Chains A and B, each alone.
Chain A
Amino acid sequence: MYGRYCSSIVSSAENPVSRRSRKQQLESKMAGADGDDSLYPIAVLIDELRNEDVQLRLNSIKKLSTIALALGVERTRTELLPFLTDTIYDEDEVLLALAEQLGSFTALVGGPDFVYCLLPPLESLATVEETVVRDKAVESLRKISHEHSPVDLEVHFEPLVKRLASGDWFTSRTSACGLFSVCYPRVSSTVKAEIRQHFRTLCSDDTPMVRRAAASKLGEFAKVLELDYVKSDIIPLFTTLASDEQDSVRLLAVEACVSIAQLLPQEDLEALVMPTLRQAAEDKSWRVRYMVADKFSELQKAVGPEITKNDLVPAFQNLLKDCEAEVRAAAANKVKEFCENLPDDSKENIIMSHILPCVKELVSDTNQHVKSALASVIMGLSTILGKDDTIEHLLPLFLAQLKDECPEVRLNIISNLDCVNEVIGIRQLSQSLLPAIVELAEDAKWRVRLAIIEYMPLLAGQLGVEFFDEKLNSLCMAWLVDHVYAIREAATCNLMKLVEKFGAEWAQNTIVPKVVAMANDPNYLHRMTTLFCINALSEACGQDITTKQMLPIVLKMSGDQVANVRFNVAKSLQKIGPVLESTALQAEVKPVLEKLATDQDMDVKYFAQEAISVLALA
C-alpha cells in the first residue's frame, strides 16, 4: 500500500512548479508540520536512496533536488552531502546520475558562498573506475568552478585539483587533467605557476591513461595560457607527447596540434608546430596518420594558406597514397573539403596537378571502403572545378565509379547526383546512370535494393518525368512484388513521394492502373500490397481519384478469402475514410464495414469495429 501511495506523490514532485514556489510550499509545510503527511514523500525518497532496487535508488538520486529542498540548505550541507560523498560503492548508473545532479546543486547548498561544499562528493566521484562517471563528475566540477569566488577557487577548488593531480591512482590523475583549464584564468600568478607544473608532471606520467588524458586536454589548456607560456611550456610538452612511445598518446597530440596552431602567430608556426605535424603525417603507426587524415581540414584552416601550399599539399598526397586502407579512406573523405579550402589563387592549379592524379588512382583502389569514401565526396569537386574541367576530368571518374563492382560505391555516386546536376546537367550521365540503377535495383542484397529505392524520388526529380516513365517506372512497379517485405514497404512509400512530385494526374495515368491490377493477383501478399499502396497514395491523389478508382477495389477485396486481406481492407478503409466523399462513406463504406464486423475471424472483426468507431459510422 505504501508503494502506491508514495509513487503517486513522488511523481507529483515532477510537476512544473517553479523552484521558488515549490520551496516556499515545502518550507511552510515543514514549519507547521506536526505529523504533517507532506513530509512523507520526502521520507520515502530519502529511504529509497538505499533501497535494494537500483531503479528506486536511481529514481531517488534523480530527485535529489527535492530532498535537498525539503532538508534546507543547512542540513543538505551538513548531512546529505557527507552521506553522498561516501556513496561511491553504488552502481555506475546511480553514480552517473549523482554526478550530474551535483553540477546544478549550488542554489540548494546556499548559493555561491557555499558551493565549495559540493567538492567532496564530486572529488570522490572523480576517482571511480567507470570513465563515464568520472567524466560527468569532471563536467560538473567544471560547471561549479565558475560559481566559486576567486578566493574560494584558491582556497577550496585549486587544492582539490592538486590532490587529484597527485593522487595514487591514475583515475584521479586523469580527472585532474580536465580541471586545470577552468581554474587557471582566475587564480594568482603563483598558483598559476603551480598549475603549469602539475600539468607538466601529468604529461610525463608513467601510465599511458594519464598521458592520454593530458594530451587530449593540451589544446584546451593552451588556450587559457598566456602566449609566452604557450611557447615556453606547451610547445615542449606537445613535442614530447607527439613522440610518445605509445601511438595512442601520439595520435591525441594531432588534435592538440589544431588548437595550438590557432593560438600561435603565423611566423612561429613553421618553427614550433610544423616539425611535429610533418612527423605525425609520416608516423610509423597508421593510427597516427589516420588521425592526421581525419583532422586534415581543421589542420588546414589552423596553419593557413601558405603552409598549406608548401607542406600540406604533399602531405595530403601521401595520405591519399598511404599503404594502409584506413588512412586512404579517411583522406579520401576529406578530398572535397581540402580542395574547397585551398587558397583561391592556386586552387585550380593544385587540384589539377596534385590532387586529381591521386584521386584518379583511388577510383581503382583495391579496397572498397576507400572507393566508397571517395565516391561519397568526389561529386562535390565538380562545383569547384566548373563545367569544362568536370566534363573533361571528373566525368570519366564518375562513370568508372558507376560501374564499380561494389554496390556501395555506385550508391554513393547516385546519392550525390545533385552536385553534378547543377554543374553539367544530369544528361551527361544518364547513359551510364541507367544500367547502374537497374543493376542496383536488382541486386541480390535487399539492403542495396532498399538504398536505391530511397534515392528514387531524388532521381525522378532530376531526370524528369519523361525519362522516368520511359526507363524507371517499370523498376518501381517491380519492387512492389519483391519477395522481401521491407522492399515492398519502401516501394509503396516511394510511390507516394513520386506522386507528390509528379502530381495526381500522372498518378492516375501511370500508377493507379497498375496498382489496381494487382488486386487480382493470386498471391495474397501482392493483393495486400495493393491495399498498402492505396493507403499511401490516397492523400496525395485526392478525393476524386480515391473515391472513383481506389475505393471500388478496396470494397471488392472485402470478400477476399484470406482473412489478412480482409482485415487490411478494414484498416485501409479507416485510413482513406477521411479522404472520401461523405456520401460514399455512408453509402458504400459503412455496409461493408458492418459486414466485416460480423466476420468469423476475430482480427477482421476487431479492425472493422475499430474503423467504424474511428470514422464515426456507428
Chain B
Amino acid sequence: MAGVGGGNDFQWCFAQVKGAIDEDVAEADIISTVEFNYSGDLLATGDKGGRVVIFQREQESKNRPHSRGEYNVYSTFQSHEPEFDYLKSLEIEEKINKIRWLPQQNAAHSLLSTNDKTIKLWKISERDKKAEGYNLKEEDGRLRDPFRITSLRVPVLQPMDLMVEASPRRIFANAHTYHINSISVNSDHETYLSADDLRINLWHLEITDRSFNIVDIKPANMEELTEVITAAECHPNQCNVFVYSSSKGTIRLCDMRAAALCDRHTKFFEEPEDPSSRSFFSEIISSISDVKFSHSGRYMMTRDYLSVKVWDLNMENRPVETYQVHEYLRSKLCSLYENDCIFDKFECCWNGTDSAIMTGSYNNFFRMFDRNTRKDITLEASRESSKPRGILKPRKVCTGGKRKKDEISVDSLDFNKKILHTAWHPKENVIAVAATNNLYIFQDKIN
C-alpha cells in the first residue's frame, strides 16, 4: 500500500517514541503542543506541566547508514508555572497551549511559548567554553592569601563539555482577559499576534509592556455573545495578512494595511450549510479548531470536528477540497457530546511541499490525505507497532454492518486515546505525533 505524502511511492515506518511506557499517565506529562523549527532540526513539545522539551536531530553518521538522524533530547526547561490571579480569584494553569519558533537570528534558537495568559520568549543557546583562573582562589577553590597577591591573572577561556541553556528573554503578560488559543509569528520577523477567545493582539517581539488590540469581537453585552475566536494565524509571506477562525465555522481574513483596527474583515470564508444534515450538533461540529496557511501562502486549511477543508484564498464561498477525517462518528455524536469529546480541538498540518495534509483522530489514529491523488490513509501510533523501522500498517474502521478482517468497529474505538497535535518536518517526510504522553516520530521508507 502506498503511503501518503509528496507523491512518491513510500511507506511510513516507525522511527522513535519518547515518553514513559507506564499505563498510569500523569496529567502533567500529557503533551499539549508539538512544533518543528524552520530547518526541522529541532522539535519542541510542550506539556500540561508547563515544560518544554526540545529534541535535536543527530547528524547522520557514516558508521550507521540506516539511522537517519534520530531526535534526542537537547534541552528541557520549565516554561510556565501554575499561578493564581488574586484579583480575579482565578487559577492560571501552567499548560503550554502553543509553541512557535522564531526565525533563527544567530547561533542561538528562540521560541515563543504560551499558557492561557502569558507568552514567553525563550532563547536556547549552547556554551562550550568556560573561564578559568581566579586571583583570589586556586582552581580547586582554596582561598589564596590576599596579602600575597603579586600579580594579576586574567581568566582564560577553556573548552568544556557542551552545555545547552534555555533562558527567558521576554515575558509578554497582562494583555489577555480570556484564554490564549494561538500565537503566530509575522513574516516581518518583528511582530507576532496572540489570540484569545474574543480578542487578537499584535505585539512587537522586543516590546513587552505594550501590545495593540487589532480584533475585538466582545459584544457590549456578554449575553449577546454568539461566537468566539478559535484560532488565528499570520500569512507566511504577506506581512499584512492574517486570518482567524470562529466557533461558527467561518474564517475571516484581515488586511492590516487597511486600518489600525481589523474589526472589519477583508474576506469572509464560509461554506453554506447543507440543510438536510442539520441537527442539534451542527453548530458544535462546525466549530473550527485549527487554521493553517499552506507554506506557499495560496491556501489555508481548517479543521472542524469531522473534516479538514482546504480553501483557496481567492475563493470565499466554499473550500476547494474537503476531506472526511472520521465520518463514521456522525452517528455517535450524542455520546461524544455526553463525554465532552465533541469539544476536542484537533489540529492539522501541511507537509513541506503542501501536497499532503495530516490531522488526528481517536484511538491513537491519525489521518493523512494526498491532495494530488486524493488518496487517504489511517495510521496508528501505538507501542505494539513500534519495532525499529517497522512499517506502519494502514488501519480501517468498519462503517458498514459486517466487519471484515483487520477492521476495527466504531464501538471499540478508545475515545480517551486521541491525537490532537501533530507536526510535519518542513522539508522531509518525518512526522511527529503526540499521543497523550508519548511522542512518536515516523519517517518514510522509500521502496
The interface of chain A, by Cβ under 8 A from chain B, is: 2, 33-37, 39-40, 42-44, 46-47, 49-50, 70-71, 75, 79-80, 82-83, 86, 89, 92, 127-131, 169-172, 207-209, 212, 245-248, 283-287, 323-326
Chain B 131-147, CB-CB to A under 8 Å as 1, else 0, gives 10011110000000011
| Residue in chain A with minimal CB distance to B137 | A47
Chain B residues within an 8 Å CB radius of A323: 259
Contact status of A83 and B135, CB under 8 A, knowing A129-B105, A208-B239, A247-B239: no
A44 cross-chain contacts in B, Cβ below 8 A: 135-136
A129→B102 CA distance, assembly (Å): 12
B143 (CB) vs chain A CBs: closest residue: A2
Question: Which A residues are in CB contact (< 8 Å) with B125?
Answer: 89
Instruction: Report Cα–Cα, A34/B150, bound state, in Å.
Output: 5
Q: How many angstroms between the C-alpha atoms of A7 and B256 in the bound complex?
A: 55
| In the bound complex, CA of A71 to CA of B135 (Å) | 13
Which 8 pairs between the two chains have the least Cβ-Cβ distance?
A: A43-B135, A285-B257, A79-B154, A169-B106, A171-B106, A86-B157, A248-B188, A326-B260
Given A131-B206, A248-B239, A326-B260, CB of A40 within 8 Å of CB of B146: yes
**In whole angstroms, how far apart are the Cα atoms of A283 and B135 in the complex?**
62
Which residues of chain B from 244 to 268 have any CB-CB distance to chain A below 8 Å in the complex?
Answer: 256-260
Does B446 touch A at the CB level, under 8 Å?
no
4 more A-B residue pairs beyond the given contacts A83-B155, A128-B106, A129-B106, with a C-beta to C-beta distance below 8 A: A44-B135, A79-B154, A212-B190, A248-B188
B257 with A286: CB separation less than 8 A: yes
Are A43 and B106 CB-contacts (below 8 A) given A37-B147, A129-B123, A247-B240? no
Q: List 21 A-B contacts (CB under 8 A).
A: A33-B150, A34-B150, A37-B146, A42-B152, A44-B136, A46-B154, A50-B131, A71-B154, A75-B154, A79-B154, A83-B154, A83-B157, A130-B169, A169-B106, A169-B107, A172-B106, A207-B103, A248-B190, A286-B258, A324-B258, A324-B259
Do B127 and A43 have beta carbons less than 8 Å apart? no
Chain B min CB distance to A118 (Å) = 16
A319 to chain B, nearest CB (A): 15
Q: A83-B154, A86-B157, A171-B106 are in contact. Are A40 and B259 (CB under 8 A)?
A: no
CB distance from B105 to the nearest CB of A (A): 5
Q: How far does the Cβ of A399 sit from chain B's closest Cβ, in whole Å? A: 30
Known: A247-B239, A247-B240. A129 touches B108 (CB 8 A): yes
Min CB–CB distance B78 → chain A (angstroms) = 19
Residue B104 at the A interface, CB < 8 A?
yes
Residues of A within 8 A of B189 (CB): 207-209
User: Chain A contacts of B238 at CB under 8 A?
Assistant: 245
A-B contacts counted at CB < 8 A amount to 118
What is the bound-complex CA distance between A131 and B106, given in angstroms?
12
Q: How far is the CA of A70 from the CA of B151 in the complex (A)?
A: 10
* Shortest CB distance A353–B (Å): 30
Chain A residues with CB under 8 A of B103 = 207
CB pair B152–A169 under 8 Å, yes or no, is: no
Which residues in B have their C-beta under 8 angstroms from that of A207? 103, 189
Q: A208 and B188: CB pair below 8 A? A: yes
**Per a CB cutoff under 8 Å, which of A46, A247, A324, A326 touches B153?**
A46
Chain B residues with CB under 8 Å of chain A are: 103-108, 110, 123, 125, 127, 129, 131, 134-137, 146-157, 169, 187-190, 206, 237-240, 256-260
Contact for A209 among B150, B190, B258, CB less than 8 A: B190
B108–A35 touching, CB < 8 Å? no
Please report the C-alpha to C-alpha distance between residue A247 and residue B134 in the assembled complex, in whole angstroms: 52
Also in contact, A71 and B149, with CB within 8 A (given A128-B106, A129-B105, A286-B257): no
* Interface SS majority for chain B: loop
Which A residues are CB-close (under 8 A) to B188?
208, 246, 248
Expressed in whole angstroms, the minimum distance between the Cβ of B55 and any Cβ of chain A is 22
- Chain B: which residue is nearest A76 at the CB level? B154
Of the residues B108, B157, B260, contact of A324 by C-beta under 8 Å: B260
| Most chain A beta carbons < 10 A, residue from B103, B125, B187, B240 | B240
Q: Given A46-B154, A129-B110, A286-B258, is A35 in contact with B129 using a C-beta cutoff of 8 Å?
A: no
Q: A170 CB to closest chain B CB, in angstroms?
A: 6
Chain B residue contacts of A248, Cβ below 8 A:
188, 190, 239
A264–B145 Cα distance when bound, in Å, is 69
Report chain B residues within 8 Å CB of A33.
150
Give min CB distance, A285 to chain B, whole Å.
4
| Alpha-carbon distance A129/B260, docked complex (angstroms) | 29
A43 to B258: give the CA distance in the assembly, Å: 61
CA A172 to CA B105, docked complex, whole Å: 9
B137: chain A residues within 8 A (beta carbon): 47
Write the nearest CB–CB distance from A377 to chain B, whole angstroms. 21
- When distances are taken between beta carbons in the complex, the residues of chain B under 8 Å from A169 are 104-107
Q: Are A47 and B239 closer than 8 Å at their CB atoms?
A: no
Instruction: Name the B residues within 8 Å of A287 (CB-CB).
Output: 256-257
Alpha-carbon separation in the docked complex, A126 to B164 (Å): 22
Closest-by-CB residue of A relative to B104 is A169
Q: Given A71-B154, A89-B125, A246-B188, A35–B106 Cβ distance below 8 Å? A: no
**Residue pair A2, B146 in contact (C-beta under 8 Å):** yes
Chain B residues with CB under 8 A of A47:
134-137
Query: In the complex, which residues of chain A have a beta carbon less than 8 angstroms from the beta carbon of B135?
Result: 43-44, 46-47
The residue from B106, B147, B150, B151 contacting A127, defined by CB atoms under 8 A apart: B106
With known contacts A208-B239, A284-B257, A2–B136 Cβ distance under 8 A: yes
Write out the residue numbers on chain A whose beta carbons fall within 8 Å of the beta carbon of B240: 247, 285
Q: Are B149 and A35 in contact (CB under 8 A)?
A: yes
Partner pick for A43 among B123, B149, B157, CB 8 A cutoff: B149
The reply to whether B187 and A208 contact each other, CB–CB distance below 8 Å, is yes
Q: Which residues of B contact A42 (CB under 8 A)?
A: 152
- Nearest-neighbour CB distance to chain B for A5, whole angstroms, equals 8
Q: How far is the CA of A2 from the CA of B135 in the complex (A)?
A: 13
Q: Which B residues are CB-close (under 8 A) to A80?
A: 154
Complex contacts, B155 vs chain A, CB 8 Å: 46, 49-50, 83
Distance in Å: Cβ of A603 to nearest Cβ of chain B: 30
The residue on B at minimum CB distance from A40 is B146
Contact A171 B152 (CB under 8 A): no
Contacts of A49 in B (CB 8 A): 131, 155
**Given known A169-B107, A246-B239, A326-B260, contact A43–B152 (CB-CB < 8 A):** yes
Q: Are B152 and A70 in contact (CB under 8 A)?
A: yes
The distance from the CB of B296 to the nearest CB of chain A, in whole angstroms, is 15
